[in-house]
């Protein structure tokens, strides 16, 4: 029996067309190496000529194109008919499609994202309250890096369905700061001071012009909206420096920025509050000051 | 430090190699800026600070000597690229276009032209060693930024500068940190042209120096024929005759390309 097995195995091994299969492996290997080299070459060529987004897209396209060509060649070398393979792939796609609708939906959404291009790699976007830099746009999801260095993966389908804010689409942005001043202050004077600050601040653009609006009479303050424009990549520094400047300048001019005041009203029919003055001796005692003297 | 160095100061000069010994500090006062460049055995150190605008002066004062700037200033350190101990200060135009805004808008009547003389702020490029290795570039005053374009979506970020838009060359103040550009505006329209803002493409301008040490750029001619958005711009090949005999000091940052110029035309008048 073992002899028969050995003979059968030897016949099986000798029956395999080793040369053909080595050729198939070689083609797949060569395809992988050439695709990788072509991808790197495209990356190097486009790095200084195109945006990061386009560079990554082209690199992937070239990589998969070269790889697919060599895979097809390898299948032909192995003796598979391409028509049969494609037919099988079609049936397989339908079967897989039913089984994995979410993945298929994400893949199709990914295609729409590529065509519509609402953002590119390197842009800062806001999705469902999450802000981050786009680090990759892949087949199934988009990856973000948040300002506090978290890695966030968002399915492509979500990006198609939900509101996406691209914060770095345009080179300049407007910042709206709310400044509250006391009711006793002269609004026109404060307006002039704020506009002067916009003229002096190095981040604030000269054009489009800064402006000040009165937005409401708050419970404790007259609320002003101070709006100015700045380069999109200077928003954080610009906001911080401008707020520091506003506080310092209003302090210098003696203009009050009020905090919420609360008055306690006991009602017309209530007794007045009892006020008790403590003598200095009682204040030095360590006991409870409310204890009757 | 500053008080000791201001004694015996001389006029500074662009593109002239200054030789320092290890331990020497080269000190400058120009425009709204004070600059210190120090040579050590294995490194170069550079630091600068702004001075109040009231202290603006007409001359570029410089001196070399032992000592270091005040400790509270932040220094930038650079490894010495070679054993060369020379430092040169190269003037360069700004990387972004400069929007020139006359204090008083100027009206150019229909079918007429004028030449305004614009003095634009320079950047100082510090180069050291035998190979003239570039250490850094610094503006000689803090420039304001502005936006020029049809709307807040299409346009470009530029630096902004106010000008008197002088029409007489003799009245233009000559300062070592400003380059003079004659801008000829030809209004071929049937309507007057109100010049409120003008976008000068400074990256396309080279810098030239005459015998008096003044810096000039080639002239710029703007033809306005059918409207402000269709104006054509041409940069002259050399400086104007009034500048005298000039030699090239710094080449333009960018070469004019057809596409680039067309974009500039669209945003010439803000």
Q: What is the pLDDT of residue A174?
A: 94
> CB-based contact (8 Å) between A202 and chain B?
yes
Mean pLDDT of A192-218: 92
B32 burial level (CB within 10 Å; 0-12, 13-18, 19+): buried
Q: What is the spatial distance between Cα A17 and Cα A19, in angstroms, rounded to a whole number?
A: 6
Mean pLDDT of A100-114: 79
Q: B interface mutation test: which of A207, A210, A233, A238 has the most B CBs within 10 A? A: A207
> CB-based contact (8 Å) between A235 and chain B?
no
Residues found in chain A:
293
Mean pLDDT of A223-233: 93
The residues in A 158-187 lying below 8 A from B, measured between CB atoms, are: 170-172, 174
Sheet holding B33-39, edge to edge: B10-11, B61-66, B24-30, B33-39, B43-50, B76-79
> CB-based contact (8 Å) between A72 and chain B?
no
Q: What is the pLDDT of residue A213?
A: 95
Mean pLDDT of A236-264: 88
- % residues pLDDT > 70 (chain A): 88
Q: What is the pLDDT of residue B1?
A: 44
- Tell me the average confidence (pLDDT) per consecutive run of 10 residues in chain B, 270 residues long: 57 88 89 89 90 74 78 85 90 91 86 89 92 91 87 87 80 85 88 85 91 89 74 81 85 72 54
Nearest to A208 among B99, B144, B147 (CB): B147
> In this predicted model, what pLDDT tens digit does every residue of A32-67 receive, in sequence order?
999 999 988 988 888 777 777 778 778 888 888 888
Q: What is the pLDDT of residue B269?
A: 62
Q: What is the spatial distance between Cα A214 and Cα A77, in angstroms, rounded to a whole number?
A: 77
Q: What is the pLDDT of residue A284?
A: 56
Chain A residues near residue B145 by CB distance under 8 angstroms: 202-203, 205-206, 231
Residue A61 CA to chain centroid, in angstroms? 24
Mean pLDDT of A63-85: 82
- HEC profile for chain B? CHHHHCCCCEECCCCCCEECCCCEEEEEEECCEEEEEEECCCEEEEEEEECCHHHCCCCCEEEEEECCCCCCCCCEEEECCCCCCEEEEEEECCCCCEEEEECCCEEECCCEEEEEEEEEECEEEEEECCCCEEEEEEECCCCEEEEECCCCCCCEEEEEEEECCECCHHHCCCCCCEEEEEEEEEECCCCCEEECCEEECHHHCCEEECCCCCEECCCEEEEECCCHHHCEEEECCCCCHHHCCCEEEECCCCCCCHHHHHHHHHCCCC
Q: What ipTM does this complex have?
A: 0.78
Chain B residues near residue A170 by CB distance under 8 angstroms: 152-153
């Amino acid at each position: 029996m073992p002899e028969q097995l050995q003979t059968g195995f030897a016949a099986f091994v000798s029956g395999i067309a080793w040369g053909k299969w080595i050729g198939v492996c070689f083609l797949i290997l060569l395809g992988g190496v050439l695709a990788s080299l072509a991808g790197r070459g495209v990356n190097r060529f486009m790095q200084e000529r195109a945006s990061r987004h386009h560079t990554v897209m082209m690199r992937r396209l070239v990589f998969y194109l070269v790889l697919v060509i060599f895979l097809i060649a390898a299948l032909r070398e192995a003796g598979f008919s391409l028509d049969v393979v494609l037919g099988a792939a079609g049936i397989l796609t339908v079967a897989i499609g039913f089984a994995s609708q979410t993945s298929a939906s994400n893949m199709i959404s990914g295609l729409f994202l590529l065509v519509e291009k609402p953002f590119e790699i390197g842009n800062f976007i806001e999705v469902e309250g999450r802000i981050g830099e786009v680090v990759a746009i892949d087949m199934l999801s988009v990856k973000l890096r948040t300002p506090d260095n978290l890695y966030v993966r968002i399915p492509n389908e979500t990006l198609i369905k939900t509101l996406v804010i691209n914060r770095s689409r345009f080179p300049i942005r407007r910042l709206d700061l709310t400044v509250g001043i006391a009711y006793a202050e002269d609004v026109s004077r404060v307006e002039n001071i704020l506009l002067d600050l916009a003229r002096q601040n190095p981040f604030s653009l000269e054009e489009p012009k800064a402006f000040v609006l009165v937005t409401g009479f708050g419970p404790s303050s007259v609320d002003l909206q101070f709006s100015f424009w700045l380069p999109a990549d200077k928003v954080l520094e610009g906001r911080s420096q401008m707020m520091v400047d506003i506080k310092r300048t209003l302090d210098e001019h003696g203009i009050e920025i009020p905090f919420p005041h609360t008055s306690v009203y006991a009602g017309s029919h209530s007794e007045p509050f009892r006020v008790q003055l403590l003598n200095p001796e009682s204040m030095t005692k360590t006991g409870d000051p409310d204890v009757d003297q | 430090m500053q008080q000791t160095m201001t004694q015996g100061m001389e006029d500074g000069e662009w593109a002239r190699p200054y030789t320092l010994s290890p331990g020497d500090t080269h000190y400058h006062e120009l425009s709204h800026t004070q600059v210190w460049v120090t040579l050590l055995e294995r490194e170069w150190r550079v630091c600068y600070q702004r001075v109040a605008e009231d202290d603006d002066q007409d001359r570029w004062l410089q001196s070399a000597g032992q000592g270091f700037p005040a400790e509270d200033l932040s220094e930038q350190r650079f490894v010495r690229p070679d054993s060369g101990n020379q430092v040169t200060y190269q003037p360069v135009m700004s990387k972004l276009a400069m929007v020139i805004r006359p204090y008083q808008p100027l009206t150019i009547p229909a079918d007429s032209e004028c030449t305004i003389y614009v003095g634009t702020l320079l950047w100082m490029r510090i180069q050291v060693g035998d190979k003239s290795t570039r250490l850094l570039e610094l503006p000689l005053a803090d420039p304001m930024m502005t936006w020029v374009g049809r709307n807040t979506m299409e346009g470009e970020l530029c630096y902004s500068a106010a000008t008197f838009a002088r029409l007489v060359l003799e009245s233009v103040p000559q300062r070592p940190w400003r380059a003079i550009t004659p801008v000829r505006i030809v209004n071929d329209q049937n309507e007057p042209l109100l010049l409120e803002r003008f976008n000068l493409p400074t990256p396309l301008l080279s810098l030239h120096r005459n015998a008096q040490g003044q810096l000039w750029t080639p002239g710029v001619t703007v033809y306005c024929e059918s409207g402000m958005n269709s104006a054509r711009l041409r940069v002259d090949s050399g400086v104007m005759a009034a500048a005298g005999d000039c030699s090239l000091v710094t080449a333009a940052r960018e070469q004019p390309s057809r596409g680039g110029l067309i974009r500039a035309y669209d945003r010439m008048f803000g």
